Amino acid sequence: MTRDDADWWRQAVVYQVYPRSFADANADGIGDLRGIRSRVPYLRRLGVDAVWLSPFYPSALADGGYDVDDYRDVDPRLGTLDDFDDLVAELHASGIRIIVDIVPNHTSNRHAWFVEALASPRGSAARNRYIFRDGLGEGRTLPPADWTSAFGGPAWEPVGDGQWYLHYFATEQPDLNWDNREVRDDFLTTLRFWSDRGVDGFRIDVAHGLAKRLDDELPDQAALDALPRDGGHPLWDRDEVHEIYAAWRAVFDSYSPPRTAVAEAWVDTPRRPRYASREGLGQAFNFDLLEAPFDAGAFRRIVDANLALASESGSSTTWVLSNHDVVRHATRYGLPEPVDPREKHGAAWLLSGGVHPVLDADGGLRRARAATLFMLGLPGSAYLYQGEELGLHEVADIPPIERQDPAYFRNPGVDVGRDGCRVPIPWRSDGTSFGFGSDGSHLPQPAWFAELSVEAQQDAPDSTLALYRRALELRRDLQGSERLAWSPTEHDDVVRFRRDGGWEVVINFGAASVPLPAGEVLVASGPLPDGLLPAETAAWLRVTSAP
């Protein structure tokens, strides 16, 4: 693949770095850009095609950096723009592309625009960049509507003069008004700013939320929830959002190769292709596997449905099992009750801080390795989240005082939040913060990180790290067209497909061993004794005969 290959993203493996938790170069307990740079050789050895950096912009971290103070700068705790340029150069020199996160639905409350809005009167141009409304009742002391924010608690906040602003997420994340021309133009400037610095693509946060239409009379929460999300909903997935992305596309295409984008759009599945189309952002996350149980029928249906959607949009499909917002998949697959990966409600084990001995840690990891190997065999692009290549479990026992996620603070006793997948990853088996840095870690790391560190796994042939490395190496060599052909199986619990070039992926979701299909084993997620494919195991095979 050459650097100007415009289609580089179609089947890329993209590795998500959560910058504050990856590597700390200056011993302040917070991961930084120079830390990431120092680990480029690791990423190269792992075999990823691109790195996606979650926000590294100046931020008070009310929402882990998704509360952006300035879209065209680096958080001084994480480095400087020069450090960013050095990181881009280092990644590119290693043949790795870079994607950055754009957060257009809301700024932080410390952004210059919001500071100006608060200092400006009702009806001012400064307030028009956000969504301000008069409160209801005498003295306008009641919110304009009873809406609940995504993190719990009210979605409208008073500013002291009878007006209230909308924040669909945390109070510190005021929603922007995308009907405002200045807002639109400023994001085009931001996209050019990072493209000019050599960024290859963008991940678009809450891509389905930008266009809003709030009438004078606002529906209450129940009425809002009942409205169909068919393009006309006041807040979500409005058809006009695509006009915004058409303008972004013009910016992307003014570069060579065109800059790419992937939408984080939690929309009804049939509405996803529009975000992924060539006229729009070009690709959209598909979270279906991430939300699915470890089940043959579910996995197979999801693959079929998403390959069909990809051919509708002309994009390639995307696969995700873990990210910074969900319980790590090794843990999801090890808990007895299904965990809603997004809401985390009902996950008694997590809420108990891991004191209930219900986690089947080994089984969860076994299933995670199998599911990952299956996913990496699929056509399309795969998004990996830092630490999954080490088989990390969710960290459940973070003391309340150390927690950071607003989802935890705004939902006491209901949602434990997302800190458990954001704990700095272990590079070494001992030493301060397991090699993350040399002076501690901003979230506490558990003792069990020692045996899962990069150091502990890198020379162990059966380690999860070795499995990822081997699969990514093979994937590069084997990658063909974006098609697959299902192969028949004699067991409902077994799913098997063939890719161009004569290789096959097989996974056994069941509890009993099954015969291994004929072929040379290229990689397997676990041992394959006696020519069998054991329970909850996947393998890739080189095959020569017809299926």
Region at 404 (left for phi over 0; alpha for psi -120 to 50; beta for the rest): alpha
CB of 204 to Ca ion, least distance (A): 27
Which of these, 466, 449, 468, 446, lies nearest to 457 by C-alpha position? 466
CB of 451 to ligand NOJ, least distance (A): 29
Give Dmax over CA atoms of the chain in angstroms: 79
Q: Which of residues 102-161 bind ligand NOJ (CB under 6 A)?
A: 103
DSSP state of 318: E
b/e map of 91-125 (b: 16 or more CB within 10 Å)?
Answer: beeeebbbbbbbbbbbbbbbbebbeebbeeeeeee
Binds ligand NOJ (CB under 6 A): choice among 12, 25, 206, 392:
206
Closer to ligand NOJ by Cβ: residue 83 or 405: 405
Choose among Ca ion, ligand NOJ, none what residue 66 binds, the Cβ cut-off being 5 to 8 Å by kind.
ligand NOJ
Does 52 bind ligand NOJ (CB under 6 A)? Our answer is no
Does 465 bind ligand NOJ (CB under 6 A)? Our answer is no
What span, in angstroms and rounded, lies between the C-alpha atoms of 263 and 317?
12
Choose among ligand NOJ, Ca ion, none what residue 325 binds, the Cβ cut-off being 5 to 8 Å by kind.
ligand NOJ
Neighbours of 188 (CB within 10 A): 14
**205 included as an active-site residue:** yes
What span, in angstroms and rounded, lies between the C-alpha atoms of 528 and 197?
48
CB of 266 to ligand NOJ, least distance (A): 9
Which burial class, exposed, middle or buried, applies to 460 when counting CB atoms under 10 A from its CB (0-12, 13-18, 19+)?
exposed
Phi, psi (deg, nearest 5) at residue 39: -105, 10
Binding mask 504-523 for ligand NOJ (x = CB under 6 A): --------------------
Does 504 bind Ca ion (CB under 5 A)? Our answer is no
Choose among ligand NOJ, Ca ion, none what residue 157 binds, the Cβ cut-off being 5 to 8 Å by kind.
none
Choose among ligand NOJ, Ca ion, none what residue 24 binds, the Cβ cut-off being 5 to 8 Å by kind.
Ca ion
Q: Which of residues 303-362 bind ligand NOJ (CB under 6 A)?
A: 324-325
Full DSSP string of 234-263:
SSSS-TTHHHHHHHHHHHHHTSSSPPEEEE
Phi, psi (deg, nearest 5) at residue 163: -100, 155
b/e map of 486-515 (b: 16 or more CB within 10 Å)?
Answer: ebebeeebbbbbbbeeebbbbbbbbeebbe
Handedness of CA 235, 236, 239, 242 (dihedral sign): positive
What span, in angstroms and rounded, lies between the C-alpha atoms of 159 and 123?
14
**Residue 302 one-letter amino acid:** I
Does 63 bind ligand NOJ (CB under 6 A)? Our answer is yes
Does 440 bind Ca ion (CB under 5 A)? Our answer is no
Which of these, 466, 300, 328, lies nearest to 384 by C-alpha position? 328
Does 479 bind Ca ion (CB under 5 A)? Our answer is no
Return the range that interacts with Ca ion (CB under 5 A); candidates 20-28, 229-237, 263-271, 412-420. 20-28
Binds Ca ion (CB under 5 A): choice among 8, 9, 11, 24:
24
175, 200, 264, 405: the catalytic one is 264
Does 205 bind ligand NOJ (CB under 6 A)? Our answer is yes
DSSP state of 115: H
Which of these, 202, 52, 181, lies nearest to 125 by C-alpha position? 181
Binds ligand NOJ (CB under 6 A): choice among 84, 165, 169, 468:
169
Does 69 bind ligand NOJ (CB under 6 A)? Our answer is no
Residue nearest to Ca ion (CB): 32
Choose among ligand NOJ, Ca ion, none what residue 300 binds, the Cβ cut-off being 5 to 8 Å by kind.
none
Q: Which of residues 235-264 bind ligand NOJ (CB under 6 A)?
A: 264
Does 288 bind ligand NOJ (CB under 6 A)? Our answer is no
Size of the site for Ca ion (CB under 5 A): 5
Return the range that interacts with Ca ion (CB under 5 A); candidates 28-36, 137-145, 251-259, 325-333. 28-36
Does 26 bind Ca ion (CB under 5 A)? Our answer is yes
What are the residues whose beta carbons fall under 8 Å from the beta carbon of 461, sequence distance 6 or more?
Answer: none
**264 included as an active-site residue:** yes
What span, in angstroms and rounded, lies between the C-alpha atoms of 470 and 479?
14
CB of 34 to Ca ion, least distance (A): 8
CB–CB of 204/262 below 8 Å?
yes
Choose among Ca ion, ligand NOJ, none what residue 36 binds, the Cβ cut-off being 5 to 8 Å by kind.
none
Binding mask 29-68 for Ca ion (x = CB under 5 A): -x-x------------------------------------
Closer to ligand NOJ by Cβ: residue 265 or 373: 265
Closer to ligand NOJ by Cβ: residue 66 or 434: 66
CB–CB of 38/3 below 8 Å?
no
Choose among ligand NOJ, Ca ion, none what residue 169 binds, the Cβ cut-off being 5 to 8 Å by kind.
ligand NOJ
Return the range that interacts with ligand NOJ (CB under 6 A); candidates 60-68, 249-257, 276-284, 434-442. 60-68
205, 237, 482, 504: the catalytic one is 205
What span, in angstroms and rounded, lies between the C-alpha atoms of 53 and 305?
29
Enumerate helices (H) and strands (E) in the chain, giving the number of each.
Answer: 16, 17
What span, in angstroms and rounded, lies between the C-alpha atoms of 220 and 145?
6
Choose among Ca ion, ligand NOJ, none what residue 389 binds, the Cβ cut-off being 5 to 8 Å by kind.
none
Residues interacting with ligand NOJ, by CB under 6 A?
A: 63-64, 66, 103, 169, 205-206, 264, 324-325
List of residues contacting Ca ion (CB under 5 A): 24, 26, 28, 30, 32
Active-site residues, by number, are 205, 264
